[in-house]
Every structure is written in structure tokens, then in C-alpha cells.
A and B are shown apart, each in its own frame.
Chain A
């Protein structure tokens, strides 16, 4: 399947997650697909990882990074550092890889769905939202110049069961970070500690332009729930998102935000699309033809 090999340097030069370190614990060797390229990952007896393109008989090693519970690699020249995620290293946090799921959709659509609060009452009914609390209130979106990431702040939503440990509904505060073209982190009020926030991650591995592996995980303050219950909670949520994602058309993300009706809930997605456009991304997206879109919002 090398008919459509990826030539987009914007995506080739990224770090991409290929497996949670949890999943790698039980395997000496795995193979996975990244940008239509089959990748082999092997662990030696010292627990060190080696990654290469499976078709490469010389096994030229690809760069790797272990960060935030995942093994990352790149098919191009990746930056020295991955984005920051300091909460991951807070000692009282529970870091749970909640599972990787195959979804027949582009990476951009997957991230965009993750940012969208408007679907909560209709898709995650009784958990992350419920009628009549359907309104997405005004929130702020900005691009942080120093880190080159998108921030959506002051988001608020009524949630009947915001986390596995929640016992009652609550008005929940959200912050979204998009620190990587295919990765997003959301921070939401912790039901346990009012002053702190749980973090929920989605790291998307583009298998092809229209197929992804969505790695999901939680980094939360909760010393009661079992890992299994945290995973099952997140699997239920993601299982609800899956058909919504797969029924999007076109499967690639159109970067011209006027291609689809903008509503207020789409404010962060408009910023995301522009940000991708400015980077010149062409893989998994339908590039915008109008350069004026790059102007300030």
C-alpha cells in the first residue's frame, strides 16, 4: 500500500505516538502503521526500544522518545523537544492509559471533535451533558506564541457525571490545549480537589489520511477509583464519539472554515483550522485556497 506515500514534511517532521508504554510491557515486538508506513518496534532485554520501518532490511533506526506514557517516533526530522505536559509528572496523579481505538476518520476531525462541547448533551447524554443544558457559553481562544499552541479557556459546561468518581452533576470548568497538530489535552475541574484540574489526553496517530489510532489517557486526582473503572468510563465515552466521528463527511478536515457552517461552539475549531493552515499542513486535510483566512480573527 505505497501508492499514496506521505510527502508532507509538516507531518513527517512531527513526533507521533505509536503505543502506550503499558501496551508495550507485554510485548517484545509490535508493528503498527504510521503515515501509511509499516513500523516495527522491538524491546531488548534491558527494556530499551528500537523502532524502524518494517520494509527497511537495514533496519535504520528511527528517532524515539518516551514521554507521557507513550512511545513516540518520527519519519522525518522531529524537534528536539515534545510539548510540555507538567501535570503528568505530579506525584499524586493517576496516569491511566485508557486505550487506543481505531477510527476511520482523519486526525484533524478527531481533534476537532475532542474540542467540541456542543455535542456533550446529545452524544454523552447523562454523563458529560444533558438536556436542557445545551448552550455552549462564550469562551476565549488564543494562540500562545511562545509555545506555539492553541488555548481555549473559560469554557463551562453542566455535566451530570464529569468523571468516574463524580457523585452528582456540576458546572464544570474546561481548558483545552492543542500543543501539537494531532494532540490535545483538556483540563477540567477535579471533583475531588476544587483547586486542581484533571487532565484528559488524546494523542492521535495518523495511520493514513483517513484512518487514525486514537490514544486516550487520563491524568487525574483520584485515589479511590480502580484503574479498570477509569478505563471503562473513558471507553464508554469514546465508544459514543466513534460513530459521530466516522459519519463526518468529508473524512479529511477542510481547512477553509467557511466550508462548514460556523456556530459559536466552533470557535476553537476555527482557530485550529487556521493554525493548521498556517503551518502548511496538507496531509489528512483539504487545504484552504483563500490566503486571507490567515489574518487575525
Chain B
């Protein structure tokens, strides 16, 4: 049986919940209160993860302790289609890895700014985090734009979303809670909207489902590209 050590408002935990939803896996949740009681730093939890970080996944006796590592594990083990982590395609695996590290870097910028604004992590230099986040978002936006141009709707060169998309989504979509606007990143906004339309997508507190599908003029061209017409 799968068991997730989970906290609703954590973007890293949300990555794992998303993966489980996309793969239609059932699992138990053990809720660890990150805020305000900092239960992830309790002695009890440190025995499960000495790093004092969420999420942790247990697959029977096997423990995995990092959101990105959990995504790899779940996709490898449970995705019969092999689309989320196509391990037989070295170039795609390399590309995915690159963006998993990018996703991890977002915890030091977008996620940190959110912790500062919403949860009083006052020792965080929030202006620096926001500036760095904008640097990352600009690069991400450009990358997504060029992918769209080449007919790839996702982060990696695949017609299917991969675990890189899952890993990047939470702290991109939650950025406004840290005062980081996405108004200047249209390709990022289009990607977020596509991501929300993946079958079995679920939300977390602070994230809303996609609105009714609409194709405005300036994006109609884009969708033609995506449909390969």
C-alpha cells in the first residue's frame, strides 16, 4: 500500500498528489502539519526523514524522500504507458532531469517568497527571491514559447506531459502568493492552462481548475501549431 506523508498547502506534496491522480493510484495520507506547528521538524518525523522535509512516500517498506525522486519512482513503477518518464529514451530522460532540477530551484525562489508572505518566514530575503524567480520565469517562458513553435505543448520534446511538467507546475502556479506576477509570461500562462486540462487533474488550496475552453484570436494561431495543422 502507498502512504504519503502530506501537507495540503505544500506545493511539493501537491506534485505527488498530482502524479497519483494522473496515474489513478489510491493511497493513504498521513497529514503532517508543516504550519504552524512545524511537525516536519518533530523527532517523530525526523525518524522518517532526517532532512525534516515533506513529502515522503512509503511503498510498503520502501521509503522515498524527495518530491522529484517520488515522481520518478511512481512513473517508473506505475505508468504502464511509459509516457510520464520514458526511460527508454535517453535524450528525453536527460531533458526531464534538467527540468526537475529547475523545479527544485523554484523552491528557493517562488516557494520561498510564498513562505515569506503567507507564513512569516521572515528571515527570507524576499526581494532577492522575487527577482531570481522572474529570471527563471523569463527563461521558462522563452523555452515554452520555442517548444510551442516546434509543436511541443509541454516542457520536454514529447507530445505527452512528463514528470517535469508536474514538478514545475506547483511553484509556477502559486507564484502570486509570493508576489510574483505571471502577467509578462504568456507562454507560461498558456502552459498552465493546458496543464490544468490534463485528464484527472486535481487542485490544491490556492489553485483553481481551468475555466471553460476558449480560443481567443491571438491564441488560435498557437493552437493550430499545437494541433499540427
- Interface of A toward B, CB cutoff 8 Å: 23, 99-104, 123, 213, 228-229, 231-232, 235-240, 242-243, 246-247
Interface string of B104-124 (1 = CB under 8 A from A): 000000000000111110000
Whether A232 contacts B8 in the complex (CB less than 8 A), given A99-B36, A239-B205, A243-B206, comes out as: yes
Asked whether, in the complex, the Cβ of A228 is within 8 Å of the Cβ of B31, the reply is: yes
A1 CA to B120 CA in the complex, in Å?
Answer: 18
A104 engages B117 (CB within 8 Å): yes
Cβ-neighbour of B117 out of A102, A123, A243, A247 (below 8 A): A102
The minimal Cβ–Cβ distance linking B65 to chain A, given in whole angstroms, is 22
Q: A236 near B8 (CB under 8 angstroms)?
A: yes
Assess the B206–A239 pair: CB atoms within 8 A.
Answer: yes
- The answer to whether A228 and B33 have CB atoms under 8 Å apart is yes
CB-based contact B8/A246 at 8 Å: no
Known contacts A23-B36, A239-B9, A242-B206; A102 and B120 CB within 8 A of each other:
yes
- Distance between A248 CB and nearest chain B CB, rounded to angstroms: 12
> Are B117 and A235 closer than 8 Å at their CB atoms?
no
B118–A101 CB distance below 8 A: yes
Cα A23 to Cα B207 with chains together (Å): 28
Cross-chain contact B36 with A246 (CB below 8 angstroms): no
Tell me the complex Cα distance, A240–B206, Å: 5
Is B52 close to A, CB under 8 A?
no
- Offer 12 A-B interface pairs, CB within 8 angstroms, sorted by A: A23-B36, A99-B36, A104-B179, A228-B33, A228-B37, A232-B31, A236-B9, A239-B205, A240-B206, A242-B206, A243-B176, A243-B208
Q: Cα distance A238–B118 when bound, in Å?
A: 11
Known interface pairs A232-B31, A235-B35, A236-B205; A242-B177 also in contact (CB < 8 Å): yes
Task: For the complex, count residues of B whose C-beta is within 8 A of A.
Answer: 20
Among B189-226, those with CB < 8 Å from A are 204-208
Inter-subunit contact A102/B206 (CB<8 Å): no
Task: Report how far A247 CA is from B207 CA in the complex, Å.
Answer: 13
Extra inter-chain contacts (15) besides given A213-B120, A232-B8, CB under 8 Å: A102-B116, A102-B117, A102-B119, A104-B117, A228-B31, A229-B31, A235-B35, A236-B9, A237-B205, A239-B8, A239-B206, A242-B118, A242-B177, A246-B176, A247-B176
Q: B173: nearest residue on chain A (CB-CB)?
A: A243
CA distance A134 to B177 in the complex (A): 27
Residues in A with CB closer than 8 Å to B8 are 232, 235-236, 239
Task: Give every chain B residue within 8 A of A101 (Cβ-Cβ).
Answer: 118-119
**Chain A residues within an 8 Å CB radius of B204:** 239
Q: Which residues of A contact B176 (CB under 8 A)?
A: 243, 246-247
**Chain A residues near B36 (CB-CB < 8 A):** 23, 99-100
| A237 proximity list for chain B (CB < 8 A) | 205
Chain B residue numbers with a CB within 8 Å of A240 are: 205-206
Collect the chain B residues with CB atoms within 8 Å of residue A235's CB. 8-9, 35, 205
Instruction: Determine if B118 and A232 form an interchain contact, defined as CB atoms under 8 angstroms apart.
Output: no
Q: Pick the contact of A232: B33, B117, B177 (CB < 8 A).
A: B33
- Ranked nearest first, the 7 interchain pairs of A and B with the lowest CB-CB distance are A239-B205, A240-B205, A102-B118, A236-B8, A236-B205, A239-B206, A239-B9
Contact digits for B25-36, partner A, Cβ 8 Å, 1 yes 0 no: 000000101011
CB contacts (< 8 Å) of A23 on chain B: these are 36
**Alpha-carbon distance between A246 and B31 when the two chains are bound, in angstroms:** 27
Compute how far the CA of A231 lies from the CA of B39 in the bound complex, rounded to whole angstroms. Answer: 13
Chain B contacts with A in 157-208, Cβ cutoff 8 A: 176-177, 179, 204-208
**What residue of chain B has the Cβ atom nearest to residue A239's Cβ?**
B205
Complex-state Cα separation, A104 to B180, whole angstroms? 12
Alpha-carbon distance A242/B204, docked complex (angstroms)? 12
Residues of chain B from 32 to 51 with CB closer than 8 A to chain A in the complex: 33, 35-37
